[in-house]
Amino acid sequence: MTQYFEIEKRDGAARIGKLLLVPELRTPCIINTSELGNIKNPGSIIDVGSFWGVESDIKLEKRVKQIRENTKNGTLIILPHQVYPPSISTESRRKIKTLTTDCGKKTDGPIGSLLRTEGDILKSDLYIMEGAGILENNARKFLEILFKLKDRIPPDTALYAPNLALPENVAMLIYFGIDILDYTRTVIAAYSDIYLINSGSFHLENLTEFPCRCRVCAHTRPAELTNLPKNDRAKFLLEHNRNALESELSLIRERIRTGTLREYVEGQCRVRPWLTALLRLGDFEYYYLEEKVPAFRQNQLLANTSEALSRIEVTRFAKRVHERYNPPDLDILLILPCTAKKPYSISQSHQKFILTLGRYRKFIHEVILTSPLGIVPRELELTYPAAHYDTAVTGHWDEEEKSWVSGCLETYLSKYSYKKVIAHVEGAYKEICERVANKLEIKIIYTAKENLVSIEALSNLKNVVESFCTAGDFSKKSLNAEEKKKNIMKAIATYQFGEASRLLFDEKAEKLVVKGHFPKYQLFVGKKQFATLVPQYGMLALSLDGGELMSKNEKYVVNIDDFVPCNSILAPGILKADPQIRPNDEVIVLGDRALCVGRSLMNGNEMMKSNRGVAVDIRHVKKL
């Protein structure tokens, strides 16, 4: 925990924050390492330097004390450190003579310290990732070390990765949680006659014109620059390279603010193979990113690349459908294709399917096949991201998409059995259904050949459904209009809260009433309103009565100290929080003097471990 670093905005592991130094340092940021050792005129951060060859702890403590006395209290001091590459073996490290200085514990004000994957961790406001620069092009090792370090430090402290930042990779580094970078690589590039842009680099002699139009490049041609002395060329290139890095950083901060950094890094990862490897391997480490990714976003989810199939929102949706969702007790399953318009039921094609099914629709459970989400039960078609994604519609599905969607359908049909499975699909959708049917050895009845909304296809769909629903020996399990409303609310609640949602529906179930017109449903028991369906993101907002009922299960509950909140709750006021809470989750806040409902702005673990920042945005408060 720190008193000097505060996170203001999050987008997964990426965050915008500020180091409360003198002058204040906004993150993510780029620092100039050549100025860190300037004791006479220090900036926000000063580096005490290496203690290789220093004879005693006493000299180190004295040095740090002198620096603190000669600088402002708001200057962050990077404590003396002994750097060696992360690749060095543990046995070799033991042979190196190290000092056991504890001078950081004896100095007031903000401090920074070197961070290793093993050994004690000093309580700091800034941690430096040891040897980060040599991890370039080794995505697996970089992520392995980064995740180990992140697990060991408090979430409200800044992480600095030195000697690594380039315009091409800074977005990916920040996406995975790096807060501070430096200009080192831009300086090296400049003195090597390398011109940097966010999509790679050019050697100066291979350029005919500058692709950048910054004030440095606008009035100069590469041919003119190559005739200058090396130092003059380097000054020019260094200014441009820094501009390119700062420009990219500004774009990334805006992407974080709008919640669209993921879409950007999916495009940016194509620049270098190691960046592609970083994104793909990072997605495999589901739990590192998942706890940081919000339950919903305000913006549209764009699934434009193959990497979108493994992004957290997509994987989480498929996982919750498999683990939390329970379908209605019906005997007939109808598989339908997705549509460009969301939610699917308002599209022209699905409107025709619904009209065709008519009075027999109450006997049928509908699921929609789609890339990248896999399968979407009709009850969850409004829930983020089912109604909030867009993808390129070409009519062609690659093998990766087919494999992912067929896997989701296979998992679903393996878990739930139906007497009849009907598929009103064509093309790749039909191929997916055939794969699953062959693998599970089940029969799927297809009701269309090509045009799904043709008179022939719709008539065939109606006839097949009617024949099953009117058969004398067939079960007449069905849902009336009121039961369908309850089923939608129950499905969303289960997806959102898991097993904890049963408290909303088990108590006085016979008195449960869903009021309003879709999608503005409200859940009542008698005169008490428990929850409201929020159409914008397809999840439930709890009332105080609903929150009080849900709190008995202790899931999605935040316990606070002895006070009555007003508009928000800061992290220091939180005693305990459910670890499964994610940013933007609906939460119940409990204290000795208050019961509240609201939206989380941090995940549960971050709430308990942070010392600064707003943790919960309160909507309703009840004094106890």
Least confident among 39-43, 185-189, 207-211: 39-43
At residue 181, the pLDDT reads 97
The mean pLDDT value of the chain amounts to 91
Check whether 392 has a pLDDT greater than 90: no
Check whether 478 has a pLDDT greater than 80: yes
Check whether 68 has a pLDDT greater than 80: no
More confident residue, 423 or 220: 423
Q: Region 185-208: what's the mean pLDDT?
A: 96
Check whether 620 has a pLDDT greater than 70: yes
At residue 600, the pLDDT reads 97
Span 535-591, pLDDT tens digits: 999 999 999 999 999 998 889 999 999 999 999 999 999 999 999 999 999 999 999
Within a 13 Å sphere around the CA of 272, how many CA atoms are in the beta-carbon half?
A: 19
Check whether 100 has a pLDDT greater than 60: no
Q: Region 193-211: what's the mean pLDDT?
A: 95
Alpha-helical runs (H) found in 31-102: 57-69, 90-95
- If one counts every other C-beta atom within 10 angstroms of the C-beta of residue 552, the result is 12
Q: 526: closest CA among 541, 545, 540, 554?
A: 545
- If one counts every other C-beta atom within 10 angstroms of the C-beta of residue 267, the result is 14
More confident residue, 173 or 63: 173
Q: How confident is the model at residue 39 (pLDDT cuts 50, 70, 90)?
A: low
Query: How far from 324 is each of 61, 176, 497, CA to CA, in Å?
Result: 56, 28, 9
At residue 59, the pLDDT reads 66
Q: Region 165-186: what's the mean pLDDT?
A: 97
Check whether 50 has a pLDDT greater than 70: yes
DSSP result, 232-284: HHHHHHHHHHHHHHHHHHHHHHHHHHHT-HHHHHHHHTTSSHHHHHHHHHHHH
Q: Secondary structure of the chain: what % helix, strand, coil (to 5)?
A: 40, 20, 40
Q: How confident is the model at residue 40 (pLDDT cuts 50, 70, 90)?
A: low
Tokens of 314: 């997509």
Distance in angstroms (rounded) separating the CA atoms of residues 266 and 254 = 16
Residue labelled with tokens 């009433």: 513
Span 457-472, pLDDT tens digits: 999 999 999 999 988 7
More confident residue, 307 or 3: 307
Span 143-165, pLDDT tens digits: 999 999 999 999 999 999 999 99
Residue labelled with tokens 């204040």: 24
Check whether 99 has a pLDDT greater than 60: no
Check whether 86 has a pLDDT greater than 90: no
At residue 122, the pLDDT reads 84
Length of the chain: 624
Check whether 53 has a pLDDT greater than 80: no
Check whether 367 has a pLDDT greater than 80: yes
Check whether 610 has a pLDDT greater than 80: yes
Identity of the amino acid at 480: N
Q: Region 115-143: what's the mean pLDDT?
A: 89
Q: Region 60-85: what's the mean pLDDT?
A: 76
Q: Region 23-40: what's the mean pLDDT?
A: 86
Taking the C-alpha atoms of 561, 565, 567 and 571 in order, what is their torsion angle to the nearest 10 degrees? -10
% of residues, the chain, pLDDT over 70: 93
Distance in angstroms (rounded) separating the CA atoms of residues 411 and 505 = 27
Least confident among 63-67, 196-200, 288-292: 63-67
Structural domains in the chain plus CATH codes: 1-182 (3.20.20.105), 192-259 (no CATH), 301-469 (3.40.50.10630), 508-623 (2.30.130.10)
Q: Region 299-305: what's the mean pLDDT?
A: 92
Q: What is the pTM of this model?
A: 0.93
Within a 13 Å sphere around the CA of 424, how many CA atoms are in the beta-carbon half?
A: 30
At residue 602, the pLDDT reads 96
Identity of the amino acid at 119: G
Span 494-532, pLDDT tens digits: 999 999 998 888 766 668 899 999 999 999 988 899 999
More confident residue, 78 or 618: 618
Q: How confident is the model at residue 116 (pLDDT cuts 50, 70, 90)?
A: confident
Span 321-366, pLDDT tens digits: 999 999 999 999 999 999 999 999 999 999 999 999 999 999 999 9
